Amino acid sequence: MKSEFLAAITQLSSEKGVPKEMVLEALKAALVSAYKRNFDSPFNDLEAELRPDEPADQSIRIIRRALVVDDDLIDDHPEVHINDQILLEEAAEVDPATILEGEFKVGTFVKYDVTPPSFGRIAAQTAKQVVLQKLRDAERQMVFNEFAERKDEIVHGVIQRIEAGTAILELGRAEAIMPRAEQVPTERYYPGQRIRVYVAEVHDTHRGPQIVVSRAHRLMLRRLFEQEVPEIYNGAVEIKAIAREAGARSKVAVVARQQGIDPVGSCVGMRGVRIQNIVNELNGEKIDVVEWNDDPARYVANALSPAQVVRVSVDEDSKTATVVVPERQLSLAIGKEGQNARLAAKLTGWRIDIKSEAAMRAAAERARDAAEDEATPALAEAGAQAPGEVRADG
């Protein structure tokens, strides 16, 4: 009995991926449930004992814990359910050999054996169903706990199928979903494909853990930099901000936390090896690494990289930055369909107005001409009021 019982426990534990202790607790709960359901037991305070070392007919015990009361005290114990009380006169009929703890005196608790001679086939079936349900619940809880700890991390997965545009992935013992909104528009997914994904959300639902993963999340870029750049992982270089348009282009602002470290050079790596590894993982997505600065003007200028900036003027009240660039750099600063300027604005949190030098000169000339036009009538009026005035230069 001992070897068969323990072998069955070990097998269940291995199949379900749960500890042996959890399997034993599930068995005890199942035995109590089977007893109450199949023997019409009203008792609440029941527990099961498993003793694999004993003979088969003595390996399971159902134990009741009850408060001994007399007729007048039956309702005077609100903290103890009425089904967990036993009348003194009923206690006298209990076989003394079944008493495990305590004695039948009013006001004391007593434990005694209520194990039936045989559970029977129906009770065994009930116990089996309860065990399987308990193990399923335990397995789901373990999966939820595992991925709750791995939230905001990158994991490996295999795409199982595509349903209505949503990719279903296998992550070890768990199943995850990657909605269309979390997919990179330029990537194509197919069943059997192995990919790395970012664990964005983990929810505990009645149907088990729901895991939402992403390839488009901007924080996936942060995790990739942490894996590829040791200076970021150990804190010598800090990522201050990330702006991403998945599949197209991203901007990352970094700053050094130790003297003598080039934050941009650390991220790019020797001959661009580090940044190229990240670009390859993201299937060619362009990544601009810029240096963060606490001066808004310099930060905005850096954020518009690779465009060259002549000067930046900032308005703190409206949080607007006016950027002047050379004429030949205007299209580069704005980017295709405004992408470079849009990402720079997301990265810095400033509204960016980009103008060329020629446009700024033209605007300055127009403003000067307008000022002169407004000043001419005033000068004429002043001359009319003082006809005898004589001016001399020098």
Mean pLDDT for the chain? 83
Query: Which has more pLDDT, 285 or 85?
Result: 285
Judge whether 285 lies within some domain: no
Q: Classify residue 51 by its DSSP letter.
A: -
Tell me the three state secondary structure of residue 54.
Answer: coil
* Burial class of residue 126, CB neighbours in 10 A (0-12, 13-18, 19+): buried
Prediction pTM value: 0.68
DSSP labels, 167-221: EEEEETTEEEEE-GGGS-TT----TT-EEEEEEEEEEEETTEEEEEEESS-HHHH
* Segment holding 33, helix H or strand E: helix 20-38
Strand pairing class (154-163; 194-205): antiparallel
User: 17 and 110 share a domain?
Assistant: yes
Judge whether 251 lies within some domain: no
Query: Which has more pLDDT, 114 or 389?
Result: 114
> Is residue 185 reached through a cis peptide bond, with omega within 30 degrees of 0 on the bond before it?
no
Compute the distance between CA of residue 161 and CA of residue 262 in angstroms, rounded to an integer.
Answer: 44
* Nearest residue to 361 via CA among 324, 316, 391, 388: 324
Which residues, in sequence order, are CB contacts of 169 under 8 Å at separation 6+? 157, 158, 159, 160, 175, 176, 177, 178, 195, 197, 213
Written as six digits, the tokens of 71 are: 């007729």
Least confident segment among 174-178, 189-193, 350-354, 376-380: 376-380
pLDDT average, residue stretch 268-274: 92
State how many domains the chain has: 3
Written as six digits, the tokens of 207 are: 């149907």
Judge whether 48 lies within some domain: yes
- Boundary of a domain, candidates 214, 238, 262: 214
User: 110 and 192 share a domain?
Assistant: no
Strand pairing class (109-113; 237-245): unpaired
User: 127 and 23 share a domain?
Assistant: yes
User: 167 and 120 share a domain?
Assistant: no
Query: Which has more pLDDT, 315 or 27?
Result: 315
Which residues, in sequence order, are CB contacts of 173 under 8 Å at separation 6+? 17, 139, 143
Read off the pLDDT band of 394 (50, 70, 90).
Answer: very low
Enumerate the β-bridge partners of residue 314. 321
Whether the per-residue pLDDT at 1 is higher than 60: the answer is no
pLDDT tens by residue, 52-90: 666 655 667 888 888 887 765 555 566 677 777 778 777
Handedness of CA 96, 98, 101, 105 (dihedral sign): negative
Residue numbers of the domain that contains 15: 2-135
Judge whether 347 lies within some domain: yes
Which residues, in sequence order, are CB contacts of 268 under 8 Å at separation 6+? 274, 275, 289
Strand pairing class (60-69; 109-113): antiparallel
User: 311 and 363 share a domain?
Assistant: yes
pLDDT tens by residue, 159-182: 999 999 999 999 988 899 999 999
Compute the distance between CA of residue 270 and CA of residue 153 in angstroms, rounded to an integer.
Answer: 26
Which residues, in sequence order, are CB contacts of 225 under 8 Å at separation 6+? 232, 239, 252, 267, 278
Which residues, in sequence order, are CB contacts of 46 under 8 Å at separation 6+? 32, 35, 36, 62, 63, 64, 65, 114
Written as six digits, the tokens of 116 are: 């039936």
- Boundary of a domain, candidates 164, 196, 214: 214
User: 37 and 115 share a domain?
Assistant: yes
CA angle 318, 322, 328 (to 5 degrees): 160
pLDDT average, residue stretch 107-118: 79
pLDDT above 90 covers a percentage of the chain that reads 44
Whether the per-residue pLDDT at 296 is higher than 70: the answer is yes
The number of helices, as runs of H, and strands, as runs of E, in the chain is 12, 16
User: 210 and 304 share a domain?
Assistant: no
Handedness of CA 80, 82, 83, 89 (dihedral sign): positive
Tell me the three state secondary structure of residue 98.
Answer: helix
User: 200 and 116 share a domain?
Assistant: no
CATH of the domain at 123: 3.30.1480.10
User: 69 and 169 share a domain?
Assistant: no
User: 105 and 15 share a domain?
Assistant: yes
User: 161 and 126 share a domain?
Assistant: no
CATH of the domain at 334: 3.30.300.20
